[in-house]
Amino acid sequence: MAKRAKGPETRTAQPLRTAAQRLLFLLFLGSAVALMVLGRTDPAAFERARMQVTDVAAPILDALARPIDAANALVDRVDAFANMYEDNTRLRQEVERLQQWQSVARNLEIENAQMRDLLAFQRQDVKRYVTGRVIGTGGTFVRALLLNVGTQDGVRKGQVAVTGDGLIGRVAEVGSRSSRVLLITDLNSRVPVVIESSRARAILAGDNTAIPRLIYGAANSELNLGQRVVTSGDAGAFPPGLPVGVISSVDENGIRVMPYATSERPELVRLMDFGLDGILVDGVAGAAQKSKTN
């Protein structure tokens, strides 16, 4: 595109603008020199003039400073809110980590308490034992526990399962790395027991409730609430004297026993081998015993 030619107005205005700028420069320079001379010759008059100028400019400067102060305050608040948001985010993360550690600490505390209870449960006649962790349950209609120990850990069918509180069941099935414990509350569980104070014998029968029943007891046995129930050792399935529970109810609906081990899902279970086969004999051992008999 071709450059637009300068008209006569442009050529005339340019010298005038240059002259005005020079004149203003000289005016400011002269004013500055005059003020300096005035300040040297008459300091009092210079001070009064400066104060008058300051008094005139003060309201203007104050009016201009208010929006600036408000803007600065707003910026400070925004920064404070941003810092507060970062602090809250960091605190929430720390709280989540602390809650995780708290959960771990509680689990360890519960596990340590159960381990102490298991260590306190001592029997002189036990040959060996292994402690397993509960990794599952039997289901809705079966009262059983699945443990993470099996034949490779020395577990075998018929071993007694206890917690620190007392008897909870026996080993019903065994795999190489797992085993299933049938609880004394299961419908298929039958445990020969004896009332410790009166020595009256009976059978503790599970019925899939938390409080199993006493059956086949002597009709003239004196049974009272709170009497201690232990294993009798009959039939060779359980050793004598294992704590089972206490009589909790005696009425027309039957006799109920509240087990010492009330939790149906403990964390740890100890499997004790007393060297008793009783009514639970493995298939191989049973076949060998049968062939010897024949």
Structure tokens at 210: 């938390």
Q: In this structure, which amino acid lies at residue 24?
A: L
Please state the length of the chain. 294
Closest by CA to 234, choosing from 255, 256, 204, 211, is: 204
Is the pLDDT assigned to residue 2 strictly greater than 80? no
Paired residues of 272 in beta bridges: 129, 160
Instruction: Report pLDDT for 142.
Output: 82
Instruction: Report pLDDT for 61.
Output: 66
Paired residues of 246 in beta bridges: 228, 258
For the domain spanning 128-278, the CATH number is 2.40.10.340
Instruction: Report pLDDT for 283.
Output: 42
Structure confidence by residue, pLDDT tens digits, 148-191: 999 999 999 999 999 988 999 999 999 999 999 999 999 999 99
> Residue 181 — left, alpha, or beta (φ > 0 → left; ψ -120 to 50 → alpha)?
beta
Is the pLDDT assigned to residue 204 strictly greater than 70? yes
Instruction: Give the confidence band of 17 by pLDDT, cuts at 50, 70, 90.
Output: confident
Cβ atoms < 10 Å from Cβ of 119: 11
Instruction: Report pLDDT for 279.
Output: 53
How much is the mean pLDDT over the chain?
80
* Distance between CA atoms of residues 231 and 160, nearest Å: 11
